[in-house]
Structure 1
Amino acid sequence: MSSYIHQQRKWPAFQWKEEDFITLLSEVSNLQGRLMGRVELLGFKLKDEANLEMLIQDVIQSSEIEGEILNPDQVRSSIATRLGLDQSGVDLVDQQVEGVVDMMLDATQNSDKILTAERLFGWHAALFQTGRSGRYKIEVGQWRTEPMQVVSGGLGREIIHFEAPHADRLSNDMDLFLQWFNAIDTLDPILKAAIAHLWFVTIHPFSDGNGRIARAITDMQLSKADEVNQRFYSMSAQIKQEKKSYYQLLELTQRGDLDITAWIIWFLECLKKAIHSSNVVIGKVIQKHQFWITHRAHISNERQHHILTKLLDHFEGNLTTSKWAKLTKSSSDTALRDITDLVDKGVLVKLGSGRNTHYVLKE
């Protein structure tokens, strides 16, 4: 047997035992349909908000899988601006954030357009606008021309987890992949997403960024399966939670034969959990909407609105008077007046005492 599936004589003629996952696939399809039905009841405004929250998760979590930590405020501002949503923005958004957002929105909002090499080159260039990955200069906006290995371990103790196809094969391999991906066929669209993800990361056509682009392609195909250009669940967020098993099964599958049944089952289970998790996010969107309906009239100034928005979206640590002053660029006296006003109106609750005093939203 050859070392890797891409070295198999019949590559990429994937095989699978449909009877092993047909019930699971049906369950996932049913969950997907029920989620889309629930989303339709939200109305336009809440649908836009839910879509925003899911895209934020997708962008942040897909990057974190690769060890890239993005600023959540910048991600929110970048996506909201592109979607034309009214969100409190930040003054400056990092190029790296803009690049990931550009790729993700193109993949999901334009899922009806064909996927081409040029489009993928554009995504890659958006991810690496400086032409570097960390300290290293890489080939940007083109198929790699160098060998590619996935390696772990220190110097002299390296473990090769995977070796990608030779660079001189990439043009033909990617042509075949793109023809298959763009073809109109009878293959279940969710099953096609699972295969596309594995196929692309096995080819590993770029010097870096293959994982993020594979997940964007997956979201693109799942958008086709949902028949909407909005995202209401985050596959990347779920993969992040199962990162260890994700890499283990990819390695196992790429070292096996062309039967990818185990990978498909893992993908479907991951997708199932992602759809279940979306109910939590949608619940928070509804809760946030109800909060503003109840308390909008109690907000006296933009500083209060700014901090309450942060508390509803994401807030690191405890809200204190000094933190309020810092975030709103105001004095401590002004911050205390703002907070006391909201406590008196029943919007915030004071907890602790002395130096441990902090404030939370009233449930």
Structure 2
Amino acid sequence: MINTETLKITLELLTLIAEVDEFKGAWRALGTLAPERLKALRNVATIESIGSSTRIEGSQLSDREVEKLLSNLEIARLGSRDEQEVAGYAEVMDTIIHVWQDIPITENYIKQLHRDLLKYSGKDERHRGAYKTVRNDVGAFDDQGNMIGVVFQTASPFDTPRRMEELIAWFDEAWETKHFHPLLIIAVFVVVFLEIHPFQDGNGRLSRVLTTLLLLKAGYAYVPYSSLESVIENSKEGYYLALRQTQGTIRGDAPDWQPWLGFFMRALQQQKRGLEVKVEREKNALMELPELAIKILDYVRDHGRVTTRDMVREEGASPNTLKATFKTLVDRGLLVRYGAGRSTWYGLN
């Protein structure tokens, strides 16, 4: 069974949880950006998350390469394992973001997410969505994708089904009774899941997918707009160290949850602080726009598109002034220009 009697709330953890929860409550006010800007933030965060999560496991694709691959996914031939992993991760993340309310935390659904995660990987076809049948102790990888050592030993194939059943039962009870703060429950769930390492491959990526799913279920609606995976990638040594320190004690009489809890909460803090900066930057950019530019954006949001003639009619502005204003909006990435000459019109980016 999972022993959480040694799980103590330190002052640092309490402070971190309070900071993250304060941002959670303020997100409605911070999230009042125009829908197209929020969408842009989410798209950037998604690319960062996919790139970082796959690179943590040894992939060599940069964020730019990930973006290029995903933009041509329907016609792309996923020849390399890196490309296959990116495509699968992208598809599962899209599912999580759009239908997280309909995904319960059960063994069957976790297996289904694993199956979809490895959907494009021919090498993993035999064990998609199925618990491991041979040992898969965890290794750490350097920036070139080379394994540099064993991080920790995982549960045996024989013990895996029982251990996963115990984890889900513990989660259900903890989530229902609210005995612990949701962030603590999520942190414990993730570190135990990784200690079990129930699948032959894809456990690290799946753990980060499940983290996003659980955070959304806990009401942290801002999560898709800022990449937690990139925070982890940038702190990879600390990530592996915290996992090793906690996971080496999980099966003992007195598990030491503090190393992992501290890392996890600090990562959440960095994630939300990064989003705060981005939102503030977006708001400042809009505040610096002239009144005419803001009216143009309001018009195109209401009507879907705008032309120079529309704004001459609505605001009485001169064509030359409008031409300069439209150029500013296009240069800032707020509008996209379509057509040419008298047929020119503008839409939201």
Q: Tell me the TM-score normalised to structure 1 length.
A: 0.66
Q: 1:245 to 1:23 in 2, by over 3 A?
A: same
| One-letter code aligned to 2:169 | Q
Q: Residue 270 of structure 1 is aligned with which of 267, 271, 286? A: 267
Instruction: Give the Cα–Cα distance (whole angstroms) in 2 for the partners of residues 121 and 171 of structure 1.
Output: 12
In structure 2, list runs of 5 or more residues that go unmatched.
79-83, 142-146, 298-321, 335-349
Match status 1:140 vs 2:131: no
Match status 1:252 vs 2:245: yes
Match of 2:15 in 1: 23
How many Å apart are 1:258 and its aligned residue? Answer: 1.1
How many Å apart are 1:63 and its aligned residue? Answer: 1.2
Whether the 8 Å contact between 2:17 and 2:265 is mirrored in structure 1 is yes
How many Å apart are 1:131 and its aligned residue? Answer: 3.4
Q: 1:78 to 1:126 in 2, by over 3 A?
A: farther
How many Å apart are 1:210 and its aligned residue? Answer: 0.8
Match of 2:344 in 1: none
Identical positions, percent: 22
| One-letter code aligned to 1:117 | E
Match status 1:149 vs 2:137: yes
How many Å apart are 1:218 and its aligned residue? Answer: 0.8
| One-letter code aligned to 1:30 | E
Instruction: Give the Cα–Cα distance (whole angstroms) in 2 for the partners of residues 210 and 189 of structure 1.
Output: 22
Whether the 8 Å contact between 1:149 and 1:164 is mirrored in structure 2 is yes
In structure 1, list runs of 5 or more residues that go unmatched.
1-9, 80-87, 300-304, 314-363
Match status 1:221 vs 2:192: no
Q: 1:159 to 1:68 in 2, by over 3 A?
A: closer
How many Å apart are 1:288 and its aligned residue? Answer: 8.1
Match of 1:38 in 2: 30
Match status 1:188 vs 2:176: no
Q: 1:171 to 1:296 in 2, by over 3 A?
A: farther
Match of 1:236 in 2: 229
Instruction: Give the Cα–Cα distance (whole angstroms) in 1 for the partners of residues 168 and 51 of structure 2.
Output: 27
Q: 1:274 to 1:230 in 2, by over 3 A?
A: closer
Whether the 8 Å contact between 1:50 and 1:285 is mirrored in structure 2 is no
Q: 1:210 to 1:14 in 2, by over 3 A?
A: farther
Q: 1:78 to 1:29 in 2, by over 3 A?
A: farther
| One-letter code aligned to 1:114 | P
Q: 1:254 to 1:72 in 2, by over 3 A?
A: closer
RMSD of equivalent CA atoms: 3.6
Match status 1:105 vs 2:94: yes
CA deviation map 1:4-40 (0-9, x unaligned)? xxxxxx544463111442232212211332344301x
Whether the 8 Å contact between 1:55 and 1:231 is mirrored in structure 2 is yes
Q: 1:204 to 1:250 in 2, by over 3 A?
A: same
How many Å apart are 1:165 and its aligned residue? Answer: 0.9
CA deviation map 1:61-115 (0-9, x unaligned)? 1112112244646755787xxxxxxxx7677344543311121122333332302
Q: Residue 153 of structure 2 is aligned with which of 157, 160, 163? A: 163
Instruction: Give the Cα–Cα distance (whole angstroms) in 2 for the partners of residues 296 and 251 of structure 1.
Output: 56
Query: Mapping of 1:240-319 within 5 angstroms?
Result: 240-256=233-249, 257-283=254-280, 297-298=326-327
| One-letter code aligned to 1:106 | T
Instruction: Give the Cα–Cα distance (whole angstroms) in 2 for the partners of residues 14 and 107 of structure 1.
Output: 32
